[in-house]
Amino acid sequence: MGLLPTGRLRGLLLSLSCLLPLAAAPALSQGRPGGPQAKPDHYVLVHAGTLLAVPRQKPQSQMTVIVKNERIVGIARGFLAAAPDAAAGATVEIVDLADRFVLPGLMDAHVHLAMESSFGRHRAERGDRNPPTGAERAVNAIEYSRRTLAAGFTTVRDVGSDDQSVFAVRNAINAGRMLGPRILVSGGALAATGGHADGLPFDATGDPQKRLEDGTCDGPYECRRAVRYAYKLGADVIKFTATGGFSGNTGTEPEMFPDEMEAIVSTAHILGMKVAVHAYSPVAIRQAVAAGVDSIEHGFLLDDEGIRMMKARGTWLVPTLSASYPPPIFRVPNPESVRLRNEYKAFERAYAAGVNIAFGTDAGTFTHGDNAKEFELMVRFGMPAMEAIYSATLSTAKLFGLDKEAGSIEAGKIADLVAVKASPLDDITQLRHVDFVMKSGRVAKKDGVMTEPFTYPPVTLSF
C-alpha cells in the first residue's frame, strides 16, 4: 500500500483521538489573560488483577495501567494510588479491576452496523421488497454500534452499508457526540450488476448516479470511478464482492473479472485505502490475491494454491466462521454453509499454514453484540485461546494499519481496555461476558452497565 494521503491521515488520526471532552486543550491558551484556559489533565488508574497487556506475551498480576486523557502513559507493578508526574490541577480517577482479567479492546474486521438479519427478513416476510432507507439504517447503526461497544469491541470495520448511514454514525462518534466503537467505513460494497451486493432496483440499474451510490460497477473504468466516489464520501476502506454468497442466495462462483478486481485494488491503494474482498470460490480468491487485495473475507472454499499465494503475499484471512456455522438468517437445521465449511476446513488449513488471521464475524447476519461467539468457533476448530485473542487485537490492528496506535496495552497507545471476571485463556467463553469497557480513555461500561450514549455538546445557532 502506498503512502496515506494527508487528508485521509488527518481523518484517521481524528478517529483515533475522537476529540473527547477529556482531552487537554492546546497549551498555547494557558495563562493568557481573558483567553480560554486549558482543561486539566485527567488520569485514570486502572487496577488490573491480571493484565494481558500484549497478546502472545505472559499475563501479569496486580498491575496498574496509567491513562492520561485518551492515551496510556505507563504500566506499573502494584496498585498505584496517585498518578506519577501529574501536574497541579490534574484529576485522578481509580478504576478497581483487582478481581478482573484485563486485556486490550477487541476488534472486529467484518460487521454490518446498518442491518441485522431479522430486520431484512421481516421485511421480506411481509412482502416489502423495498430496501430500508438511509435514515432507518442510521438508526440501526446507532443502536448496533452501542451493542458492539458493550460487547467489548472498541474498533470495528463496517464493510457494506450505503453512502450515508454508517458514515453519519462514525462522524458523530469521532466528534464526541456519541460514545461508540471506532469505525472504519467502506460504504456500499462494490459489486457487478446482478452480483452479491447489487442492491439496485431494476428501474435504477441504468442510472449512473444511482450506480455510484450503490457501488454497482461493470468494467475497469466504472470500477475505478466507484472507488473514487467512495473515497470522496470519506470511506476508510474499500470492499468488493468477487463472488456470490450464502445470505444473498447468489451462489459461490466468480462474479467479477480479473481486470475489474485489479482496477479496484490499484485505485484504492493509490488513494491510501486498503481493500477487503468477499470471496468464496477458489478461482476468485486466487485472482483477488493476485490483484493485491489486503484481506480475503470468508474464503470458505480456499484451496491449497490460494493458501500458498496468501502466505507469500501476506494477505489476511478474515474467516467469519459465525457467518457459516450457521447464521440464523437461514432458519434451516443444516444449511449448505455448514456442509461447505466442514468439507473445506479453510480456516484450519490456513491457520496451520501460517496465513495471517484477522478476527471478523459478519455481525449483522446475526445479532450485533454476539460477536464474541466467533472466539468459541476459532478455538473449537483448533486455534489456541491466546492466538484467538491475538487475532482480535494486534493482528486485526495490523490489518487496519493501526498497530502503532491500538491492539495492545502499551505506553503511547490509545487507551482501549476491556475486562472479564475470569481468564479467557482458560475459558474462552468469558469473552461473551465483558463487564468493563474503556474506549479512548473514557469509561464506556463499568460493572456491566453502559454509560450514557450521547453527550449532546452545546451548539451555537445563527439566525
Q: Domain segments of the chain: what residues?
A: 39-104+411-450, 106-400
Contacts of 448 (CB under 8 A, 6+ apart): 435
Of the chain, the end-to-end C-alpha distance in Å amounts to 47
Q: Which of 127-141, 193-207, 417-431 has maximum average pLDDT?
A: 417-431
Confidence class for position 133, pLDDT limits 50, 70, 90: confident
Which residue has cell 474499500? 238
Average pLDDT over the chain, rounded to whole?
Answer: 88
The string of pLDDT tens digits covering residues 282-339 is: 999 999 999 999 999 999 999 999 999 999 999 999 999 998 876 555 566 667 788 8
Confidence class for position 202, pLDDT limits 50, 70, 90: confident
Percentage of residues in the chain having pLDDT higher than 90: 71
Which residue has cell 461493470? 218
Residue 3 scores a pLDDT above 50:
no
Residue 421 scores a pLDDT above 80:
yes
pLDDT the model gives residue 419: 98
Average pLDDT over residues 144-148: 96
pLDDT the model gives residue 197: 78
Find out whether 230 and 187 touch, Cβ atoms under 8 Å: yes
Average pLDDT over residues 107-133: 71
Residue 462 scores a pLDDT above 60:
no
The string of pLDDT tens digits covering residues 325-356 is: 765 555 666 677 888 888 999 999 999 999 99
DSSP string, 39-105: PPPEEEEEEEEEE--STTS--EEEEEEEEETTEEEEEEES--SS-TTPPTT-EEEEEEEEEEEEEEP
Greater confidence (202 vs 221) lies with 221
Confidence class for position 250, pLDDT limits 50, 70, 90: low
What pTM, to 2 d.p., does this model score?
0.89
Confidence class for position 10, pLDDT limits 50, 70, 90: very low
Under DSSP, the state recorded for 359 is -
Which residue has cell 491558551? 29
Which residue has cell 442491518? 115
- Across the strands, what pairs with 252? none
How far apart (Å, rounded) are the C-alpha atoms in residues 379 and 319?
13
Q: What is the largest CA-CA distance in the chain?
A: 73
Find out whether 175 and 168 touch, Cβ atoms under 8 Å: no
pLDDT the model gives residue 326: 66
CATH number belonging to domain 106-400: 3.20.20.140
pLDDT the model gives residue 220: 98
329 φ/ψ angles, rounded to the nearest 5 degrees: -60, -25
Which three cell numbers, joined as nine digits, stand for 203?
Answer: 428501474
The string of pLDDT tens digits covering residues 255-272 is: 999 999 999 999 999 999
Find out whether 57 and 106 touch, Cβ atoms under 8 Å: no
- Would you say domain 39-104+411-450 falls under CATH 2.30.40.10? yes
How far apart (Å, rounded) are the C-alpha atoms in residues 110 and 362?
5
